[in-house]
């Protein structure tokens, strides 16, 4: 087969490796190089770096609105286009070019969590299960029929970064399974998504990182997990803004107002919430690095005394 791969971030790299296993990927599409780092130098995407290392030609159009961009794709005579976190909405004219259309690897169990941030939104919502879907792409946002799916539990303390890595590997496996069927002359049967249970995973925004102590502790603990490694939860703690990399919810009733320091020890710093208590276990001061609660208290010993 002649495969085209379209993807951009780290999440897509395992799928590219799976697609390229039989040397069938004739070209890789990825987002144009973007400024990154302190020097704002143009930086290639993780997918571009992987493609170059494998000797696969790379194309980086801004979009597919122009006829030349579509004709360049058509000239590659693709049997199938595989799309994984590419970052562009593909028009119907592009979806129609490959012989078998376009497949998408999506990090949720559709129709739950269509959209940009399915991994983080699943954790934030307190979901205990998620997975990946191999979907036949349509013009709508993640609305196409599902070809293959694989479920996986979400660990009670699993972070967005940890789940991201697991689902990237799981997505590559599901893609490999689908390609294996296609090579054998078996087209996976498309299963239309049900109308019930549709939810949207909106893009993460930096302002969402600020914790509101009036919310339940369990909801805040989920946010801390979901927003690690980005944008990282932050809050006011005894007059200081801190970033919170790790926390757990304690199901206990306290009379203190939300945001009040309840106790502080080497096990964690406990803060009253609208419901329950949030135990902060890994914190980061302004300009510092993430440290354990015990090390944080070494720098603010007055908190240990206040929460004793």
- For residue 275, with 0-12 CB atoms within 10 Å meaning exposed, 13-18 middle and 19 or more buried, which class applies? middle
All residues at 6 or more sequence positions from 18 whose CB lies less than 8 Å from its CB, including other chains: 172, 173, 175, 176, 179
| Residue 69, token pair as written in the block | 């961009």
Residue with tokens 């976190």: 85
Q: Say if CB 275 and CB 252 are below 8 A apart.
A: no
* 129: helix, strand or coil: strand
Q: Say if CB 8 and CB 44 are below 8 A apart.
A: no
CA dist., res. 180 & res. 175, Å (int): 8
Alpha helices in the chain (DSSP H): 13-19, 46-54, 67-75, 92-95, 118-124, 160-183, 217-226, 293-299, 301-306
Q: Say if CB 248 and CB 279 are below 8 A apart.
A: yes
For every residue of 18-58, which 3-state class applies, written as one string? HHHHHCCEEEEECCCCEEECCCCEEECCHHHHHHHHHCCCE
Query: Which residue positions form the known binding site?
Result: 108-111
Query: Which residue positions form the known binding site for (6S)-5,6,7,8-tetrahydrofolate?
Result: 108-111
């Amino acid at each position: 087969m002649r495969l085209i791969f379209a993807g951009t971030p780290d999440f897509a790299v395992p799928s590219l490796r799976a697609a390229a296993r039989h040397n069938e990927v004739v070209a890789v599409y990825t987002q144009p190089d973007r400024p990154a780092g302190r020097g704002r130098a143009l930086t290639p995407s993780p997918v571009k770096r992987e493609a170059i290392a494998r000797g696969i030609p790379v194309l980086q159009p801004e979009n597919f609105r122009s006829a030349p961009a579509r004709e360049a794709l058509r000239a590659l005579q693709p049997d199938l286009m595989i799309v994984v976190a590419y970052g562009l909405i593909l028009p119907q004219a592009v979806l129609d070019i490959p012989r078998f259309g376009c497949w998408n690897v999506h990090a949720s169990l559709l129709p739950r969590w269509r959209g940009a941030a399915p991994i983080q939104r699943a954790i934030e919502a307190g979901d205990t299960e998620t997975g990946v879907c191999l979907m036949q792409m349509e013009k709508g946002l993640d609305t196409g029929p599902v070809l293959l799916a694989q479920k996986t539990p979400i660990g009670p303390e699993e972070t967005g970064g940890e789940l991201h890595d697991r689902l990237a590997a799981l997505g590559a496996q599901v893609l490999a399974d689908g390609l294996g069927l296609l090579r054998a002359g078996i087209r996976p049967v498309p299963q239309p998504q049900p109308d019930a249970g549709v939810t949207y995973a909106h893009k993460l925004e930096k302002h969402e990182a600020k914790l509101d102590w009036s919310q339940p502790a369990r909801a805040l603990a989920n946010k801390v997990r979901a927003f690690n490694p980005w944008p990282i939860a932050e809050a006011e703690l005894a007059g200081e803004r801190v970033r919170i990399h790790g926390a757990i919810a304690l199901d206990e009733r306290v009379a203190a107002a939300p945001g009040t320091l309840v106790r502080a020890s080497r096990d964690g710093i406990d803060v009253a919430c609208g419901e329950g208590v949030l135990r902060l276990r890994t914190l980061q001061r302004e300009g510092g690095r993430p440290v354990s609660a015990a090390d944080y208290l070494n720098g603010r010993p007055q908190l240990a005394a206040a929460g004793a």
